[in-house]
Chain A
Amino acid sequence: MALGLAANIAKTHLLAKIRQTVIASLGVTFGIAMFIVMISFMTGVNKFLEDTMLTATPHIRIYNDIETNRRSILDEVKSGEGRMNVVYHQKPKDEKLNLKNGLRIAERVRREPAVLGVSPQLTSQVFYNYGPSELTGILTGVNILDEDALYDIKTKLKSGSLEALLSSSDGVLMGKGLAEKLNVTIGNRVSVTTPKGHTILVKVVGTYQVGIGEIDNVRSYANLSTVQKVLQEDPRYITDLHIKLTDLEQARPLAKRLQNTYGYKAEDWETANASILVSFTIRNVMTSVVVTTLLIVAGFGIYNIMSMTIYDKMKDIAILKATGFDGHDIVQMFLLQAIVIGAIGGTAGLLIGYALSYLLSITPFETGDFLAIDTFPVNFNPWFYVSGIVFGILTTVLAGYFPAKRASKVDPVSILRG
């Protein structure tokens, strides 16, 4: 039979019972819309958390990993078979945490082709004192322009400017949470005390917010020289190199190579954030489970509607068969209807799914200071929409095919004789 006749009959069927057609399409619409909203939202959250983690994490961090559990001198001098040395209360060696030649290493790492930027840092635990408030925190000495190239600090400034830090000898850019806890604003002077007991008065020249409480509530940026001064170290003294790469995936092999080349511990972001990555994996698995469940439920809904539509038409099918239409014609006829219902319902589903996702993405979402986020994160990935419509049509066609196949095998005699 020409496809035209099947299409003709299919069209008449769809239009004759427009309400049923609409309801069948709505079944598809609902399934696809929910699929779009769920997958957009869930992957949006995952992506947001992943991005937030990555913006504040170096891809590779080189630092001096001090072995505290060292061999005693006695062991070094007198050791061998049948001997056992016991040294009580051995204290760790007074070793500096710095990277020797750190700045030169930085220059050489910077020339690696895969490296986007290197920021030498000098980090120290400190006490912040402002009036009666006293907080523990971290003071990180950086070249703020290098740091900005890595972490885009400029966009994260809540007040003040990078230049203000550059041009002052004792300025700090303070984490927003920390500044609020200390109750300081731009221009206030805060005293900073190092573990070794040195104290310095610094001036707040700006505040920033990365979006992660663990950083915003404890860390301040200062110029390298400021921190070197308070630690009473020389101008070449740095403890960390933070490295950003052009390609995330290269972090692990490059870290290994750098560690071998320079002899300092080089830790890639995956190793440093192993526990967070596990939680990402779990969340991704959960997303897949939820989305799959949703699709299966939607699929069964579509199947139900399609088989109901077809069983409704059993008598018509019997008549068509009696007048000479064969099984293929019947299958074709209902498959075409299924495709139309799938396409219309699916398209409507995409539109509604998009509308709902959009509404979600502008819904205010209060997280306090913990995360830098104002509204729900939603991932508008075109692939979701492509797979949504493909799934919608595919399921409808499958859901239409099986009942149609059964209907095409129906014995017209048993229907027509009643």
Chain B
Amino acid sequence: MKTILRTSQINKYFLEPVKFHVLKDIDFEINAGEFLTIVGKSGCGKSTLLYILSTMDTAYEGTLEINGQQLTGLPQNQLAKFRNEHIGFVFQFHYLLPEFSAIKNVMLPAMKLGKYTRKEIEERAYEKLRLLDVHEQALKPTNKLSGGQQQRVAIARALINDPAVIMGDEPTGNLDKSNSQIVFDILKELSRSYNQTIIAVTHDTDFADNSDRTIEMSDGMIIKQ
């Protein structure tokens, strides 16, 4: 089994308001195609860990490696390029750009990547939207969609560049029961049918119980994996 993400000895401190040791010696690996959830009480550092994994937070000690490439210490712009190509991010809130239509939101990361022509990108984006069953909303402005639809468009956006790993920061945190179920099923389906690696931070025990593997954190440490 191929290892897609590896951390070694990740430590992080918050300096404000007082120095605080948030993450302590985080060591773990994720295999390709795995659907991993990270659980723990509020403030245990799970979201902080996820943002480090996402390469957006660079203020930590230790090393992070995704897809065989060591990312620790790379300059911001290279990390941005890496994120664009290899990481799809789904937030608790959908965070779609309100000025753009649903399909345009999905297309933007691909246009940034510039691997395909505009026409191809549009087709691919439409394909992703269809996969998530929101293709009928493609041309609507994102603020005209329901919460569940918005989150699905956000997942489509995360998928557009065929990333090595999708990261979700409580991707169902803002959704009601049925929408949560839909989003979960989609992630599960992606993992199973497309061998998509997924890491999600969640509070939802049902969500965690149904994933392939769960890492439990407490006080900045992994207590069970």
What residues of A have a CB within 8 angstroms of the CB of B98 in the complex? 16, 316
Assess A324 versus B77: contact at CB under 8 Å? Given A5-B112, A13-B99, A315-B95. Answer: no
The segment from B18-26, B49-57, B127-135, B184-192 found at the interface with A is B49-57
Q: Is A282 in the interface zone, CB < 8 Å from B?
A: no
Contact B77 A327 (CB under 8 A): yes
Identify which of B57, B97, B113, B169 contacts A324 (C-beta below 8 A): B113
> Which residues of chain A (295-329) have a CB below 8 Å from chain B?
315-316, 318-329
The segment from A52-60, A152-160, A367-375, A409-417 found at the interface with B is A409-417
> Which residues of chain A (231-256) have a CB below 8 Å from chain B?
none
Q: How far is the CA of A328 from the CA of B75 in the complex (A)?
A: 13
Contact B112 A319 (CB under 8 A): no
Contact A326 B76 (CB under 8 A): yes
Minimum distance in angstroms from A326 CB to a CB of chain B = 4
Q: Is A9 in the interface zone, CB < 8 Å from B?
A: yes
Identify which of A1, A8, A16, A327 contacts B76 (C-beta below 8 A): A327
Q: How far is the CA of A73 from the CA of B54 in the complex (A)?
A: 108
Closest A residue to B109 by CB, please name it.
A323
Q: Is A278 in the interface zone, CB < 8 Å from B?
A: no
Contact A322 B56 (CB under 8 A): yes
Contact A324 B47 (CB under 8 A): no
Q: Is B35 in the interface zone, CB < 8 Å from A?
A: no
Q: How far is the CA of A315 from the CA of B95 in the complex (A)?
A: 8
What residues of A have a CB within 8 angstroms of the CB of B89 in the complex? 322-323
Interface size on A, residues (CB 8 A): 29
Q: How far is the CA of A397 from the CA of B95 in the complex (A)?
A: 28
Assess A323 versus B56: contact at CB under 8 Å? Given A5-B112, A329-B112. Answer: no
Minimum distance in angstroms from A366 CB to a CB of chain B = 55
Contact B47 A16 (CB under 8 A): no
What residues of B have a CB within 8 angstroms of the CB of A318 in the complex? 95
Contact A328 B112 (CB under 8 A): no
Q: Is A86 in the interface zone, CB < 8 Å from B?
A: no
What residues of B have a CB within 8 angstroms of the CB of A411 in the complex? 56-57
What residues of A have a CB within 8 angstroms of the CB of B84 in the complex? 323-325
Interface size on B, residues (CB 8 A): 32
Task: Mark interface residues in A318-353 (1 if CB within 8 Å of B CB, else 0).
Answer: 111111111111000000000000000000000000
Contact A2 B114 (CB under 8 A): yes
Q: Is B85 in the interface zone, CB < 8 Å from A?
A: yes
Q: Is B83 in the interface zone, CB < 8 Å from A?
A: yes
What residues of A have a CB within 8 angstroms of the CB of B113 in the complex? 324
Q: How far is the CA of A318 from the CA of B80 in the complex (A)?
A: 11
Q: Is B138 in the interface zone, CB < 8 Å from A?
A: no
What residues of A have a CB within 8 angstroms of the CB of B161 in the complex? 324
Q: Is B126 in the interface zone, CB < 8 Å from A?
A: no
What residues of B have a CB within 8 angstroms of the CB of A416 in the complex? 91, 95, 169
What residues of A have a CB within 8 angstroms of the CB of B56 in the complex? 321-322, 411-413
Contact A12 B51 (CB under 8 A): no
Identify which of A16, A325, A417 contacts B99 (C-beta below 8 A): A16
Task: Mark interface residues in A23-63 (1 if CB within 8 Å of B CB, else 0).
Answer: 00000000000000000000000000000000000000000
Contact A9 B108 (CB under 8 A): yes
> Which residues of chain A (275-297) have a CB below 8 Å from chain B?
none
What residues of B have a CB within 8 angstroms of the CB of A15 in the complex? 99
Minimum distance in angstroms from A272 CB to a CB of chain B = 67
Q: How far is the CA of A347 from the CA of B122 in the complex (A)?
A: 36
The 6 closest A-B CB pairs, nearest first, are: A324-B84, A16-B99, A326-B80, A326-B77, A324-B83, A323-B109
Contacts A/B (CB < 8 Å), 22 sampled:
A1-B114, A13-B99, A319-B95, A319-B96, A319-B97, A321-B80, A322-B56, A322-B83, A322-B91, A323-B83, A323-B109, A324-B80, A324-B82, A324-B113, A325-B80, A325-B84, A326-B76, A326-B77, A326-B80, A413-B57, A416-B95, A416-B169
